[in-house]
Structure 1
Amino acid sequence: MTTAVTSRPRSRGDSVRPFTVGALGFVLLGTGHLILSVVAASATPTQEQRDADTAMRESTFALMGLERTVLDVFNGMSIAMALLSVTCGLLILAALRHAPALVRRRTAFGWTALAASLTALAVSVLLLPPPPVVVLTVTSCAFALSLRRATTPSLGGTPGQSPPGGL
């Protein structure tokens, strides 16, 4: 008796959906940070927070002719990074809408998003509280899953043409 085994190719699934989850994670991370900053600024500070703020206000440094307090730099960098996270997520979503082939095939676009997410995750694990660690773990997993589901771009084509998928 002979048994024929027919293998069916497994469906790789859609690579756009997890990439969208990763992009939305960036938007959530930045938006959540900005909201938390506003809530913290409007709350009554504890004595420890007042002491820390006073110490940061009293510590100044000059760079390229500008004098800033440590508190100015801390708040400025915090707000700027939150806005950049939101912007990055929104730009990824716009790119996905107009050129989904960027993530349907393994391109530098997908690898760059994963590298940025993993780098931010590493920094967060070392220096930040749990919320950004959780969000960046989800974004990193989403970008990695998207790349796993994506197809490898073919290197063929006519001379002078980019491979399919762009970047």
Structure 2
Amino acid sequence: MNPTYTSRPLPRADSVRPFTVGAYGFVLLGVGHLALSAVSALTKTPRQRETDTAMREPAFTLLGLERTVLDLFNGFSIAMALFIIASGLLLLTAIHHSPALVQHRTAFGRVALTVSLAALAISVPLLPPPPIVILTITSCAFALSLRRAAPAA
């Protein structure tokens, strides 16, 4: 063995790339939801029109504003899609400006993983396969990013 040889640690795998995949997954989830909602609104089956009619009937007043169940359903759905898109874009912007946020195990990466896992846990019993698949990918990506990250200083 060469006496001048010194072992060097292998460089730590990149933690930014999987985090980026997770953030883009959030954007895809929100955009996909909005696109599916638009297509669904334009191509309603007779059964869906019947359901919409039933959801328009129960009206109630909430803080002085009268709303139907359909109003709330559509409003929550669109607003949540926009928030998930914004979350993904904010994550991408943050790591673009400060990759150290995910190169070290910080609360930033842990929060992204926690939110992704919580959304996945809600999706499994309540939602169709597309969000379940996307949130599984985002959760795995955020977890891999944390695993690859250096311990917090």
1:77 corresponds to: 76
Q: Distance in 1 between matches of 2:85 and 2:93?
A: 12
2:13 corresponds to: 13
Q: Distance in 1 between matches of 2:142 and 2:12?
A: 15
1:68 corresponds to: 67
Q: Confirm or deny that 1:135 pairs with 2:134.
A: yes
Q: Distance in 2 between matches of 1:130 and 1:146?
A: 24
CA shift digits 1:73-99 (9 cap, x unpaired): 000000001000110000000001000
Q: Distance in 2 between matches of 1:61 and 1:19?
A: 43
Q: Distance in 2 between matches of 1:61 and 1:13?
A: 55
Q: Structure 2: where are the runs of 5+ without partners? A: 1-5
Q: Structure 1: where are the runs of 5+ without partners? A: 1-5, 155-167
2:97 corresponds to: 98
Q: Distance in 2 between matches of 1:7 and 1:130?
A: 47
- TM-score with structure 1 length normalisation? 0.85
Q: Distance in 2 between matches of 1:63 and 1:57?
A: 15
Write the letter of the residue equivalent to 1:47: P
CA shift digits 1:118-140 (9 cap, x unpaired): 00001110110000000000000
Q: State the Cα RMSD in Å.
A: 1.4
Shift of 1:12: 3.2
CA shift digits 1:46-94 (9 cap, x unpaired): 2211111001000112211111000000000000010001100000000
**SS where residue 12 of structure 1 aligns?**
coil
1:32 corresponds to: 32
Number of residue equivalences: 148
The runs of at least 4 aligned residues of structure 1 exceeding 3 Å deviation read 6-12
1:161 corresponds to: none
